């Protein structure tokens, strides 16, 4: 009834405006009083503005047509149609972008039309995500942010967890490429606009070098050239800035959460170079992370260019090349933690070489790094063939087992694709039933010393990826809990006479369970004050004073120290304190062996750097019984490490290999490369010009390669 009244009013208002005919569902009808249509159907209704027979092209006819078209355009908000009596299909005319066949019209393009973060640009099917969720019923549904994160986390297996636990981390929904935009994230009409033969999504998927080349050769007509000339110049200039800091292998659509800290920092640096600001103080923390030595030279040139524009740059860095290129250097030490915090030298780099600081000793050659042990391996070789993920060009990589293997190559040459995205998922799927899919490859097997091809699971019993991700995401996690030594310490306290008299078990000394912990702060040692528009503030608990435990629990003492005192010890102090408790000493001694003696046993995991977290994981592996058949994978383990820390780390890794294990390290640090038993060098360049194995063998053999970009620095 409501629709019927609405249509009746519409017809009546149109008739009162002087119109005589309407076109309803393709049929011309006279606008008589009480005109009705079927109220249970959807209808297409157009107003007939004029009907005329054009026999001549007189001025009167031309004026009438112009007036009628203008009137129709006004009524139709820029759209009108013309119907000839001898044709069935109307002809559409529009002031907007319109298809003359179907009559579909689009709004004029604007910048937000090409953004997948706005309703005007995003694909209506996936809302700019590029993926859709398939629920338990098989129906497609729009994934929310939390489910996407859960999916990503569910795809990544934890090699230290039992296989059956991984099944619980995967959400019930499955995700696949959006069928509407095919992962390009924009609505269909936005993807119709092209520069040359490429739409914006295709341009954004190119690496920066490829994009610059394309914009230089794209064919434009004279009008397009006038419009695009200055814009293309500006785009080229900005891309050049990014190339100058070694980011030529990235694409513009690369997700920001997949960038390393060094890559994100260099993007910001490129922005600053392009801004041409002067008298600015820039502070950079480890900008050389993930950079090959050749790209490092580019970065240093960019920093000097920024300096020459009357700016000041302060760089926190361990890279030797960066130190030697500095105008002024400050050396802090002498050791880490409570044994550091002093300025040992400040002045010119050449003057520092004449001092006796630990840094100077490595720069002037007084101290050196261990060289390659030149192991031949156990005779077995892990073969990974036909790898073609991302920019890899159907490469076959051979990893001699029982060796210290380093994978090198310029930034973007395919190192992470080969190891982290192909080899590691293959092994994780086999050993832990991981849900993470490897990138395309043909075969993965072990070739024995006598040439026989066997299943790799017969030779390798597990794979362990030791990365720089946090050992815990809450302040409750710490080195003691991660390594498992805290359970031994709590068991020791539970065996004290005072604990037995009171009937205390091991759980009494946990700050995660009720009974022994401080009830006021819940065992955190602090209280969280939530700030509405600022980050949360943490203040020490006024009851326990930050010790986490209640007064009664702290009365139990071992050698004069309570459980809170033990957590407050540095690892160096703990090694001395537990010198006659071998089950505890073994685990904390490995933490000391990897150079973490300055950390506290109870130091919050959220305060550890990536390098520190990685060494805690290494120490945990060292403390476990070795099978001699483990494959370890490390990605840039020297990030954030001083020369002395690298020496200690190399010693730890060599110990693991000496036990018969295999270590594969992705690394640019020359000291680590020199210490390798076997090198695999990818390149020759990054992005589309990379993806090949250009050299492999011992460091001495790779040094002689003419194609290798690493060879000149060896």
How many percent of the chain have pLDDT more than 90?
A: 44
Which residue has better confidence, 348 or 248? 348
Q: Does residue 39 have a pLDDT over 80?
A: no
> Dihedral of the CA atoms 611, 616, 618, 624 (nearest 10)?
180
Q: Give the tens place of pLDDT for each residue, 355-370.
A: 999 999 999 999 999 8
Q: DSSP labels for 514-553? A: TTTB-TTTTTSSEEEE--SSS--EEEE-TTTTT--B-TTG
- 3-state secondary structure at position 15: helix
Which residue has better confidence, 559 or 100? 559
Run of H or E residues at 634: strand 630-635
Q: Does residue 533 have a pLDDT over 80?
A: no
Q: Does residue 405 have a pLDDT over 80?
A: yes
Q: Give the tens place of pLDDT for each residue, 372-403.
A: 888 888 999 999 999 998 889 999 999 999 99
- The closest of 654, 510, 496, 488 to 587, measured between CA atoms, is 488
Q: In what order do the strands lie in the sheet with 21-24?
A: 27-30, 21-24, 45-48
Q: What is the pLDDT of residue 140?
A: 55
Which residue has better confidence, 456 or 612? 456
> Tokens standing for 476?
């409750």
DSSP class of 614: H
Mean pLDDT for the stretch of residues 110-116: 90
Pairing of strands 526-529, 462-466: unpaired
Residues whose CB falls within 8 Å of the CB of residue 658, separated by 6 or more in sequence, listed in order? none
Helices (H) and strands (E) in the chain, counts: 24, 26
**pLDDT band, very low/low/confident/very high, at 262 (cuts 50, 70, 90):** low
Q: What is the pLDDT of residue 268?
A: 83
Mean pLDDT for the stretch of residues 203-231: 91
pTM for this model (two decimals): 0.73
What CA–CA distances, in Å, run from 46 to 6, 42, 68, 77, 254?
Answer: 15, 13, 14, 13, 48
Q: What is the pLDDT of residue 166?
A: 32
Dihedral sign for Cα atoms in the order 269, 274, 275, 281:
positive
Q: What is the pLDDT of residue 102?
A: 64
Provide φ and ψ at 473, rounded to 5°: -105, 5
Mean pLDDT for the stretch of residues 643-666: 90
Q: Does residue 657 have a pLDDT over 60?
A: yes
């Amino acid at each position: 009834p409501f629709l019927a009244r609405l249509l009746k009013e519409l017809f009546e208002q149109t008739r009162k405006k002087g119109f005589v005919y309407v076109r309803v569902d393709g049929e011309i009808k006279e606008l008589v009083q009480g005109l009705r249509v079927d109220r249970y159907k959807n209808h297409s209704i157009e107003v007939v503005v004029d009907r005329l027979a054009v026999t001549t092209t007189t001025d009167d006819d031309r004026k009438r047509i112009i007036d009628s078209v203008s009137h129709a355009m006004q009524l139709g908000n820029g759209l009108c149609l013309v119907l000839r009596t001898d044709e069935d299909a109307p002809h559409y005319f529009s002031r907007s972008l319109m298809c003359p066949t179907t009559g579909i019209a689009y709004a004029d393009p604007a910048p937000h039309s090409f953004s997948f973060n706005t309703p005007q640009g995003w694909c209506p099917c996936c809302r700019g995500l590029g993926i859709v969720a398939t629920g338990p019923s098989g129906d497609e549904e729009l994934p929310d942010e939390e489910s996407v994160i859960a999916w990503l986390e569910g795809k990544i297996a934890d090699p230290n967890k039992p296989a059956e636990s991984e099944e619980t981390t995967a959400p019930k929904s499955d995700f696949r490429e959006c069928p509407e935009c095919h992962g390009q994230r924009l609505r269909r009409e936005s993807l119709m606009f092209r520069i040359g033969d490429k739409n914006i999504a295709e341009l954004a998927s190119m690496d920066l070098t490829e994009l610059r080349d394309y914009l230089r050769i794209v064919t434009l007509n004279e009008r397009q050239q006038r419009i695009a000339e200055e814009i293309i110049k500006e785009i080229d200039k900005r891309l050049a800035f990014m190339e100058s800091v070694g980011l030529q292998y990235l694409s513009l659509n690369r997700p920001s959460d997949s960038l390393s800290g060094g890559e994100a920092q260099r993007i910001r640096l490129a922005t600053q170079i392009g801004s041409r600001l002067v008298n600015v103080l820039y502070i950079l923390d480890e900008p050389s992370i993930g950079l090959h030595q050749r790209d490092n030279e580019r970065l240093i040139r960019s920093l000097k260019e920024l300096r020459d524009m009357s700016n000041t740059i302060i760089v926190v860095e361990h890279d030797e090349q960066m130190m030697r290129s500095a105008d002024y250097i400050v050396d802090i030490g002498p050791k880490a933690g409570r044994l550091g915090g002093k300025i040992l030298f400040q002045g010119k780099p050449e003057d520092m070489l004449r001092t006796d600081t630990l840094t100077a000793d490595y720069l002037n050659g007084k101290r050196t790094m261990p060289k390659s042990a030149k192991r031949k391996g156990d005779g077995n070789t892990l073969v990974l063939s036909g790898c073609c993920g991302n920019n890899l060009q159907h490469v076959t990589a051979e990893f001699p087992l029982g060796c210290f293997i380093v994978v090198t190559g310029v930034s973007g040459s395919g190192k992470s694709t080969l190891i982290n995205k192909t080899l590691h998922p293959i092994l994780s799927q086999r050993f832990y039933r991981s849900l993470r899919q490897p990138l395309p490859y043909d075969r993965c097997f072990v070739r024995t010393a006598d040439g026989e091809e066997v299943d790799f699971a017969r030779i390798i019993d597990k794979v362990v990826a030791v990365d720089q991700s946090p050992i815990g995401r809450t302040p409750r996690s710490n080195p003691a809990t991660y390594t498992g030594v805290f359970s031994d310490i709590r068991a020791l306290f539970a065996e004290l006479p005072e604990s037995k008299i009171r009937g205390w078990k091991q759980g009494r000394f946990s700050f995660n369970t009720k009974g022994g912990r401080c009830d006021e702060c819940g065992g955190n040692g602090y209280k969280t004050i939530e700030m509405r528009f600022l980050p949360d503030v943490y203040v020490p608990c006024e009851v326990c004073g930050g010790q986490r435990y209640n007064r009664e629990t702290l009365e139990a003492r071992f050698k004069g120290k309570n459980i809170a005192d033990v957590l407050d010890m540095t690892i160096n102090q703990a090694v001395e304190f537990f010198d006659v408790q071998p089950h505890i000493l073994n685990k904390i001694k490995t933490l000391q062996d990897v150079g973490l003696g300055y950390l506290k046993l109870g130091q919050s995991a959220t305060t550890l750097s990536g390098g520190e977290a990685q060494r805690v994981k290494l120490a945990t592996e060292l403390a476990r019984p070795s099978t001699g058949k483990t494959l370890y994978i490390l990605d840039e383990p020297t990030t954030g490490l001083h020369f002395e820390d690298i020496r200690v780390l190399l010693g730890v890794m060599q110990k693991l290999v000496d036990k018969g294990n295999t270590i594969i390290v992705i690394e640019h640090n020359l000291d680590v490369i020199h210490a390798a038993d076997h090198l695999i060098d990818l390149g020759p360049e990054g992005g589309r010009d990379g993806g090949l194995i250009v050299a492999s063998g011992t460091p001495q053999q790779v040094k002689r390669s003419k194609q290798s970009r690493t060879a000149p620095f060896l």
